[in-house]
Each structure stands twice: as C-alpha cells, then as structure tokens.
C-alpha cells in the first residue's frame, strides 16, 4: 500500500446544502479480487486518480472526495447546479433552467472513459449537450492581481507560503501588482513538501480563502479573492486613480488658479503640473522646480525614489526629498506648491519663502476639495484570483475519441467552455488553456489529489449535432432531468452576472 493509501477522517456527513432524499452516487469502479487473490476485504480501491487509495468502510481516500460507504465507493461531494431565470420565464410562470456544473462530478481517470456526465437539454428549440467533468490539473496556476501602489517585492522574486517557494512576482500592471502562484514546476519539480504546500495553497486560493504569502526581499501579504489585500499588516483601501502623469492630466483644470505648482508622486511616473502638457495648455507659469530622477518627457519623471510603501509606492516619507531646488530665475517668493500621491492618501502644501525654501502651510479648503476628489475617484483595492489551467488529453478524451476535434471546435466557437458555470477565456494557440475568475465560480469548486494536483470543474456545451460531428460519446448521453432526479446535488448560491452557458450566442445564433 502506498503512503497515500492511509485512512483518513471518518465520513460523518457529505457537506452542506445536500438533499438527503437523493441517492448516493457510485463512483469509479469497485475492483473485485482477481483469481488466486485473497477474498475481498472491506476495503475498496478508488481509481478516480493515479493514487489508487485503498479505503476502509466509513473512511475517505486521501482527497476526502471519495469514500467507502457500506462497501461501495461513493462520491462524497454533492454535485453543484446553477440556475437561470430569464424575464420571459418569469412572465410565463416557468421554472428556472438548471445547468449541471462539474463541481463534484468526478473525473475521467484513467483517461479513456467518457466524462462522468454527458447531459442533454433543449433550449430555444435546439438540442444541446453539456459534457460535465472535473479535471485533474497538474499544469495549472493562479494569477493574482493585487490593487496597490505599495512595493511588494522585486520582479521575479520568489513567493513563499509556509517557507516553501510557491510562485514569483511578475510584471506590474496599471495600479496593480501581479503574482503568479503554483504551476507544474512547484507542484512536481521540487520536494514532496513543496508540492504538497503548493497544492494546498492553490486550493485555498481557488476556494476564495485567505492565504498568507511572503515575498523574498519584499512584503508579507494576506490575499483573498474579492477582498482588500493586506500588505505588511496594513489593509489596502484604494487603487490609484492613475499614474502621476495621468493624475496631472485629469485634475489640471481643477487646480488651475488655486495653486502654482503640483507634483504627483508616483513610483513609476511622477507628474509635474507646470511642465506637463496639460499645465502648458492652461497657461500655467513655469515654477522653476528642479526634480530628482530621470526626466522622460515634459512633466514626466522616472525613478524619483526607490520603490517602497511610502508616498505613491516609493520609499519616501518627506515629499520634499525628491526636489533638488528651484531655479531662481523662474521661481518666486510666495509660490504655492501642492504635493500629493496618486491615491490622495498622502498630501502636503508648501509656500516658498524669500530664500525659495518650501515652508509647510495649511491646505486651503478649495485645494482640499480636489485632493478629496482624487480619493473619491479611486476604486476600492481588491485581490483578484484567476485560475489558469491546461485541459489535456484526459479531459478531451472524455468528450470525444478524436481530442483535436474538440480543440478545433472550441477555437471555432462551436463549443462554449465554462468552469463551474462561470465563463472561461480560452487562450489562443494550441491546446485548451482556460482562464477564469474564481469569484464567479461556486463555493468549494476546487479540490486536490495527493499526486499532487488540483481538481477543478470544467464543462463543454455545444449543439447535439456538433457533438456527434466531432466524434463525441453519444452513447453516454443522459437527459439532464434524469441525472438531477438520480444524483445528490446542491444549488450554487453565488450571485453573479455569468452568462447562461447553454444559450451562448455562438451556439444558438
């Protein structure tokens, strides 16, 4: 017996939102003893994944998704359905339409088998097929978008969870820092502890749980899908309205006449009003300000400071540290200077004295209004978690005997791909690489197997005629209503604006 065949938590329940009136689902094959072997024991062997657990009565396998119930291998997770109630259905008094997701459906392992459920339904007088399964994903990762200007760590820096390397920092995007977490290298390319830690972390991220991360040479984070990120113990409140240059362009006219110079501090592009094209077009007089950093184009400066968690994602605490001085031939006593960050979180007001030295002064009320407007125009900072997975041979073989036909049909928009009923973006090029926002998926959509790998739902919806044409397993088609009468299921209560998968325009148009 392998190390993964140990017995696990006793099966006392099958989860929330389960209809007890629905019967249990017999899962992968219960293998009888071959000739010459010992008589069958109370244990059953599960072939839902390559681990092949031996499970005693009343126990679960290593994944906690399959168990031995009375000597029968049984799927313990209730299947998940989503519902759609259109205005026309409501007006006609019709019941909501059901869509069977892959959550809890089971897998196609060992690959040649048809998908666990291939269901038929009828919509807009068109016969439709949805192939429903859970994929065992080794080639998968999560892309995490963190809305913050704060410095999280150097690009390409390792990300750690419980001390193990689980990903890396990737290129920043507008107002957000980006992380890549998981992937086949971390799942299979390191030691057992790294693979197990990575797998558990990925499942938690996908199931919208809070996870703790640390970045080498950078910050400590708490990240949760749909929640504000916490950076070094400080919850992030808002995403910047734009870079320093963009902020100048947006608010230049509102500053006009209230102040002589504005510097918007930003780690990437710091803006200076009097030099910026927006200021010049308004006729703002040159202030003679001399900035540190590298001048790019008029009014735009790079590298005025190092990255950090201070003003505008820099390491500065005193904003005057990025000013070298003022040109005496242009500046004047009484010049009014506003310095502000791209979120309005930091601001300071100065007036030049007779030596052209900035002196702190109270922020005038009209200027305070514009600073507040910067904050008002910042969106709430969130953590967004996207699952990226490659649907390989086993998934495609569960649909058709000719897997490449499925890939071609998806690229031709004949097949709609969803994950737990949520719309999935299919990357161009070869293969079926999907990307989906986990916040739009049902709760507890992700599981694990100790190979290690991630288990995630995926559905392929198409016309019955197209399913037959691509060599689909037509002999395994079951009416949706029959499946729902027989299977244990729970209704997803996720409220999203997901398009109804079966009525995608490309399918019924």
Q: What is the pLDDT of residues 257-301, one digit of tens each?
A: 999 999 999 999 999 999 999 999 999 999 999 999 999 999 999
Q: What is the mean pLDDT of residues 222-240?
A: 95
Per-residue pLDDT band at 499 (split at 50, 70, 90)? confident
Task: Judge whether residue 9 has pLDDT over 60.
Answer: no
Place of tokens 């009209």: 366
The pLDDT of residue 85 is: 66
For 483, the token pair is: 């499946």
Q: How far is 447 from 437, CA to CA, in rounded Å?
A: 16
Q: What is the pLDDT of residue 97?
A: 86
Q: What is the largest CA-CA distance in the chain?
A: 103
pLDDT exceeds cutoff 80 at 507: no
- Cβ atoms < 10 Å from Cβ of 10: 11
Whether residue 295 has a cis bond before it, omega within 30° of 0:
no
What is the dihedral angle through the alpha carbons of 61, 64, 69, 73, rounded to the nearest 10 degrees? -60
Residues 448-480 as b or e (16 or more Cβ within 10 Å = b): bbbbbbbbbbbbbbbbbebbeebebbeeebeeb
pLDDT mean over 5-33: 35
Q: Give the pair of three-digit tokens for residue 509.
A: 């148009």
| CB neighbourhood size of 124 (10 A) | 9
On the question of pLDDT at 1 being above 80, the answer is no
In Å, how far are 360, 393, 405, 422 from 408, measured between CA atoms?
66, 14, 5, 21
H/E segment holding residue 202: helix 192-206
Average pLDDT along the chain: 88
Give the separation between CA 475 and CA 498, rounded to whole angstroms: 30
- What is the pTM for the complete model shown? 0.85
Residue 3: pLDDT above 50?
no
Instruction: List the single range of 66-80, 121-135, 341-355, 453-467 with lowest mean pLDDT.
Output: 66-80
293-331 pLDDT, tens digit per residue, is 999 999 999 999 999 889 999 999 999 999 999 999 999
Which range (2-11, 181-190, 413-422) has the least confidence? 2-11
d(CA 102, CA 191): 31
Instruction: Please report the pLDDT score of residue 47 as a whole number.
Output: 82
Give the pLDDT confidence score for residue 394 in this predicted structure: 73
Indicate if the pLDDT at residue 426 is higher than 70: yes
For residue 223, pLDDT over 70 is answered with yes
Ramachandran angles phi, psi of 239, nearest 5°: -95, 145
Using pLDDT thresholds of 50, 70 and 90, give the confidence band for residue 93: low
- Mean per-residue pLDDT, 57-61: 89
Q: pLDDT digits over 374-397, tens only?
A: 999 999 999 999 999 998 877 899
Q: How far is CA 24 from CA 20, 447, 485, in A?
A: 9, 20, 12
Residues 60 and 75: their CA atoms lie apart, in Å, by 10
Kindly tell me if the per-residue pLDDT of 12 is higher than 60.
no
The pLDDT of residue 451: 87
DSSP per position, 482-504: HHHHHS-EEE------PPPGGG-
Tell me what pLDDT residue 15 has.
32
| Per-residue model confidence as pLDDT tens digits over 99-113 | 999 998 988 877 778
* pLDDT at residue 17 is higher than 90: no
For 505, the 3-state DSSP assignment is helix
């Amino acid at each position: 017996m392998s190390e993964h065949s140990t017995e696990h938590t006793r099966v006392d329940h099958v989860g929330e939102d389960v209809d007890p009136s629905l019967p249990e689902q017999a899962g992968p094959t219960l293998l009888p003893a071959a000739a010459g072997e010992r008589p069958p024991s109370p244990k059953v062997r599960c072939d839902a994944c390559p681990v092949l657990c031996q499970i005693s009565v009343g126990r679960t396998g290593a994944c906690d998704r399959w168990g031995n119930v009375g000597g029968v291998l049984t799927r313990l997770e209730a299947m998940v359905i989503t519902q759609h109630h259109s205005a026309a259905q409501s007006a006609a008094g019709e019941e909501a339409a059901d869509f069977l997701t892959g959550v809890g459906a089971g897998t196609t392992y060992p690959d040649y088998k048809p998908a666990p459920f291939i269901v038929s339904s009828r919509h807009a007088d068109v016969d439709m097929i949805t192939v429903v399964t859970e994929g065992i994903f080794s080639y998968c990762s999560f892309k995490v978008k963190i809305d913050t200007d704060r410095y999280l760590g150097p690009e390409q820096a390792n990300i750690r969870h419980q001390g193990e390397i689980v990903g890396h920092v990737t290129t920043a995007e507008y107002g957000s820092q980006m992380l890549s977490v998981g992937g086949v290298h971390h799942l299979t390319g390191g030691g057992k502890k790294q693979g197990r830690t990575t797998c558990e972390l990925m499942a938690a991220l996908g199931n919208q749980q809070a996870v703790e991360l640390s970045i080498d040479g950078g910050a400590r984070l708490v990240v949760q899908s749909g929640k504000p990120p916490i950076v070094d113990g400080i919850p992030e409140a808002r995403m910047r309205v734009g870079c320093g240059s963009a902020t100048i362009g947006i608010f230049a006219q509102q500053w006009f006449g209230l102040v002589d110079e504005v510097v918007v501090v930003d780690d990437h592009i710091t803006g200076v009003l009097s030099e910026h094209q927006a200021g010049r077009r308004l006729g703002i007089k040159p202030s003679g300000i001399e900035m540190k950093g590298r001048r790019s184009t008029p009014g735009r400066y790079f590298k005025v400071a190092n990255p950090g968690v201070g003003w505008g994602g820099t390491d500065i605490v005193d904003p005057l540290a990025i000013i070298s001085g003022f040109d005496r031939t242009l500046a004047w006593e009484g010049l009014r200077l506003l310095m502000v960050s791209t979120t309005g979180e930091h601001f300071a007001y100065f007036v030049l004295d007779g030596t052209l030295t900035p002196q702190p002064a109270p922020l005038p009320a009209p200027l305070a209004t514009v600073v507040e407007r910067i904050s008002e125009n910042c969106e709430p900072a969130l953590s967004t978690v996207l699952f990226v997975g490659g649907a390989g041979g086993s998934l495609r073989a569960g649909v058709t005997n000719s897997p490449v036909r499925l890939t071609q049909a998806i690229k031709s928009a004949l097949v709609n791909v969803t994950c737990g009923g949520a719309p999935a973006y299919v990357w161009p090029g070869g293969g079926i690489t999907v990307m989906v926002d986990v916040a739009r998926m049902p709760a507890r959509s992700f599981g694990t197997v100790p190979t290690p790998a991630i288990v995630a739902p995926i559905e392929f919806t198409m016309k019955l005629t197209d399913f037959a044409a691509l060599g689909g397993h037509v002999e395994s088609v079951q009416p949706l209503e029959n499946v729902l009468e027989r299977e244990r299921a729970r209704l997803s209560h996720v409220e999203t604006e997901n398009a109804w998968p079966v009525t995608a325009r490309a399918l019924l148009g």
